[in-house]
Amino acid sequence: MKARLLAGLLCLTPLSAATHYVTIAGLGGEPDYEQRFTGWAADVEKILKFAPDVRSEVLKGAQATRQNVKQLFSRLAGEAAADDTLVVMLIGHGTFDGDDYKFNLPGPDLTAADLAALADQVPAQRQLVVAMTSASGGGLKALAKPGRIVIAATRSGFEKNATVFARYWIEALRDAAADTDKNGAVSALEAFRYAEAKTARFYESQKRIATEHAVLDDRGKGEGVRAPSPENGYGLVAAAFPVVRLGDAAVAANDPAKRKLFARKEQLEQEVDRLKYQKAAMPTEEYRRKLSALLLELAKTQEELDQ
């Protein structure tokens, strides 16, 4: 059953569909944080400005109110299609009272349940929510849903200090080094690992005890893990979710003549990832045979793309 569910989720990656990005920079509370949060949101705007098939919306500063957020999602509910993708990025402060996570905005805050209900209205079946605030781990259960990847900057609602995860997540969207498999796209899993590693190094370099530990849930369980892997079953869906495409891959994705080939290339890469997660459950020779066949077809597809 789990394998069939994951296979179904991986098929929902039509290259011709649009990706809707919603970036919200919440209340800073003091000038330093206000400048930091709005600056990070502006960085996202610049990164996505020329990306293919992208529709980017940014709310920051005084405009990032609960009412404006609701209006934005209501509009997306009418504009997005089922084959589209939704990426929501929350930048700022969050709080947790033991029951509810709240994203701090000018005026009334937005709870994780509020955000989940708004995202549920959007028909896009593939969704990614990246909550990069303090206490964001407290919203995992409310945001969990099959087909929705949830990343939180903290492992629980009780890590309440200001976070730096957002800085490195955004850096991952423009740094080719984040594309570890060198396929021309930064997946949700690659961006998560890049930002998590950079966050850990930040605390080490500052000789400070880490007060944030990012987690990922791509199984709809409401329970995130810090190290997604085939062993714990997390990370497969996130690996198949391209957040941004880089360089030649972005050009190919926007070229009608190469679009089908590029879609096939991404499909093959996803099949390789899925096979790795199934490795433990099949004979070694069968695994090697299937892997060799996929890699051969992948090489042929890449050769056609390069022509």
Reported as a single tens digit per residue, the pLDDT across 260-307 is 776 676 677 767 767 776 777 788 888 888 888 888 887 777 677 666
HEC profile of the chain: CHHHHHHHHHHCCCCCCCEEEEEEECCCCCHHHHHHHHHHHHHHHHHHCCCCCEEEEEECHHHCCHHHHHHHHHHHHHHCCCCCEEEEEEECCEEECCCCEEECCCCCCEEHHHHHHHHHHCCCCEEEEEECCCCHHHHHHHHCECCEEEEECCCCCCCCCCCCHHHHHHHHCCCHHHCCCCCCEEEHHHHHHHHHHHHHHHHHHCCCCCCCCCEEECCCCCCCECCCCCCCCCCHHHHCCEEEECHHHHHHHCCHHHHHHHHHHHHHHHHHHHHHHHHHHCCHHHHHHHHHHHHHHHHHHHHHHHC
Reported as a single tens digit per residue, the pLDDT across 75-132 is 999 999 999 999 999 999 999 999 999 999 999 999 999 999 999 999 999 999 999 9
> Would you kindly state where each structural domain of the chain is located, as residue ranges?
2-249, 256-306
Reported as a single tens digit per residue, the pLDDT across 6-26 is 333 333 344 447 899 999 999
Please, which pLDDT band fits residue 190 given cuts at 50, 70 and 90? very high
Q: Average pLDDT of 54-64?
A: 93
pLDDT at 297: 80
Fold of 2-249: Rossmann fold (3.40.50)
